Structure 1
Amino acid sequence: MAGKSTPMFIDGATIQTLLPYKSLINHLQTSLPFATSSIQSPLRHSHPTSSSSTLLLMPSWPTSSSSTFPYIGVKLVTTHPNNNLINLPGVHATYVLFSSVTGQNLASMDATELTLRRTACVSALASSYLSNEGSKVLLVPSMRECDDEAIRRGRVFVDNEVAKVEAGELVGAFERAVIKEEDGVEGDLVELIKGVKNGRKDGKEITVFVSVGSAVVDLLSAQLAYETITVKP
């Protein structure tokens, strides 16, 4: 990564090619336990840019200099709900990847497709621990919340701790005393991967997985896309 170079742009169609679901699932399964303790990821920044529009920033970076994970990343998202009046999407997103060693801009990529891919793969990875063995179909509803009864009866897991303060179904369940905030969530995805927490115990059990996304997963996904192009086998 030494010397001057022009940052590459990776469009949505290329992201699909670079991040097959199976490859990304495997990458997250092997990388998340390490990344959770070695990558800094603050709460997402939200800034109103007008009375109806918002800018979101989701940065992440390694906690120490490392040649094994030399990346800084940030996802930038704009939301303009009134864009439907001019036949444009209401959300636009870009992911920017930098070298953590030199600070150089390495790549920017379509973060809409990146987010769609990583969201599906996180859900699929969680499902491998929480679903019935005979399950064959994974449905990922869009902006669909679980009802209180499912939360009350199920064993609840989250993708990361931020879900406890950002996921509407959990925040509401805490406020309505459906479950207790201190012990109503059994564990997170990394604990399932490490085996610290047990997944599904039997076929009759109800399991609930709540995901709000994370900048760490965004960075790992961007890493895989970038290295698939640049790292020679």
Structure 2
Amino acid sequence: MRVITSAEIDRVLTCPDLVDALADAFRGDMVAPVRHHHEIERPGKDATLLLMPAWTGPTAAEGFVGVKVVSVFPDNGARSLPSVMGTYLLMDGATGEPLAALDGTRLTVWRTAAASALAARHLARKDAESMVMVGSGALAPFLIRAHMSQRPIRRVALWNHRPERAESLAAQLRDEGLPVTVTTDLEGAVRQADLVSCATLSTAPIVKGEWLKAGAHLDLVGAFNLSMREADDEALRRGEVYVDTPAARREGGDVAVALKSGAIPESHLKGDLFSICASPPARAGEAITVFKSVGAALEDLAAAMLVWRRIGQTS
């Protein structure tokens, strides 16, 4: 069994190819059961173990089985360790033989950004030129690169509640040749943006619906539980709302919260990545669109399969 590091994943993946691989996965024959969620009692704060299995179906061209194992240990900060760590195990679909253990954390940021870009491929205006990135954490650079691979983005305004962190990331991305500048005026930046992507841990709405201009696309990635919000109810009410999978109706912040409170009805949701990829929606030029992702095991499997193919070709 091969161990595949984050550096190897970065070496073999590209945004356009991964977006295409996810599109094939959402149109194809894959099985992804409900993720397993286990609480682990520990002194201090309890830990969490997440298991996300998926496998290709009988009509798939190649057979694979995979599972992502994610641990969340909130007290790890005191040990100078990440609180969230993950590993992806890829197995042969015909024999169950373990093929590779991949860096699960790196695989996750790649596939999460690619899923948002896949949605934007169909939901954002084709002439979208300006982007606002809300948040400057680990996902931010991947989201910027992924969205730029699908739309002719010429300007990216980066906002973070700690401006110094935004400045540091913006400098790194400019060194790559990306057109990223820092803004401290989030409202002003959002009002001018064609595409707004959010990846934060906020527990209160950051982006207001009244700020979104006609034709804007809002990408909500960060709020992963029911106590978190990145956009207010008005943003959801104004937009044509899509989700990555049906799980987003009950998991994560924003859409699940608004459904639970009655701020929007179930009928307000227009579709998910399965329906988007099977039958791309017609987009009215002035429509505001919203995409909410909570993550899906089939995305991890599709990404791991692509890495495995590329590793074999480049070894």
Alignment TM-score > 0.5, same fold: yes
Task: Specify every segment of 5 or more residues in structure 2 that has no aligned partner in the other structure, as ranges.
Answer: 132-146, 148-196, 201-221, 224-229
Q: 1:33–1:194: 8 Å Cα contact kept in structure 2? A: yes
2:116 to 110, 123, 131: 123
For residues 29 and 41 of structure 1, the distance between their equivalents in structure 2, rounded to whole angstroms, comes to 15
Local SS of the residue matching 1:168: coil
For residues 31 and 43 of structure 1, the distance between their equivalents in structure 2, rounded to whole angstroms, comes to 17
1:153 to 225, 228, 238: 238
2:308 to 220, 226, 229: 226
Cα offset for 1:131?
1.1
Cα offset for 1:140?
4.3
Dislocated runs of 4+, deviation >6 Å: none
1:175 to 250, 255, 260: 260
For residues 88 and 152 of structure 1, the distance between their equivalents in structure 2, rounded to whole angstroms, comes to 40
Q: 1:93–1:110: 8 Å Cα contact kept in structure 2? A: yes
2:281 to 198, 220, 227: 198
Q: 2:57–2:63: 8 Å Cα contact kept in structure 1? A: no
Mapping 1:92-111, distance limit 5 Å: 92-111=85-104
For residues 12 and 3 of structure 2, the distance between their equivalents in structure 1, rounded to whole angstroms, comes to 13
Cα offset for 1:133?
2.4
Cα offset for 1:63?
3.6
Q: 1:120–1:140: 8 Å Cα contact kept in structure 2? A: no
For residues 12 and 282 of structure 2, the distance between their equivalents in structure 1, rounded to whole angstroms, comes to 30
2:36 to 18, 40, 45: 45
Cα offset for 1:96?
0.1
2:15 to 6, 16, 21: 21
Cα offset for 1:168?
2.0
For residues 103 and 85 of structure 2, the distance between their equivalents in structure 1, rounded to whole angstroms, comes to 9
* Counterpart check, 1:135 vs 2:128: yes
TM-score normalised per structure 1 = 0.88
* Counterpart check, 1:212 vs 2:294: yes
1:90 to 69, 72, 83: 83
TM-score normalised per structure 2 = 0.66
* Counterpart check, 1:58 vs 2:52: yes
For residues 31 and 233 of structure 2, the distance between their equivalents in structure 1, rounded to whole angstroms, comes to 33
For residues 96 and 105 of structure 1, the distance between their equivalents in structure 2, rounded to whole angstroms, comes to 7
For residues 21 and 172 of structure 1, the distance between their equivalents in structure 2, rounded to whole angstroms, comes to 31
Relative to structure 1, the CA distance from residue 24 to residue 67 in structure 2 (aligned partners, 3 Å threshold; closer, same or farther) is closer
2:305 maps to amino acid: Q
For residues 44 and 12 of structure 1, the distance between their equivalents in structure 2, rounded to whole angstroms, comes to 24
Cα offset for 1:176?
2.0
For residues 101 and 16 of structure 1, the distance between their equivalents in structure 2, rounded to whole angstroms, comes to 28
Local SS of the residue matching 1:31: helix
RMSD: 1.7
Structure with the bigger RCO (C-alpha within 8 Å, sep 6+) is 1
2:23 maps to amino acid: Q
1:77-117 Cα shifts (integer Å, max 9, x gaps): 00111111111100110000011211100000001010000
Percent identity between matched residues is 36
1:45 maps to amino acid: H
> How many correspondences in the alignment?
219
Cα offset for 1:160?
1.1
2:275 maps to amino acid: E
Cα offset for 1:221?
0.4
Q: 1:130–1:207: 8 Å Cα contact kept in structure 2? A: yes
Local SS of the residue matching 1:134: coil
2:12 maps to amino acid: L
Cα offset for 1:231?
5.0
1:173 maps to amino acid: A
Cα offset for 1:21?
1.0
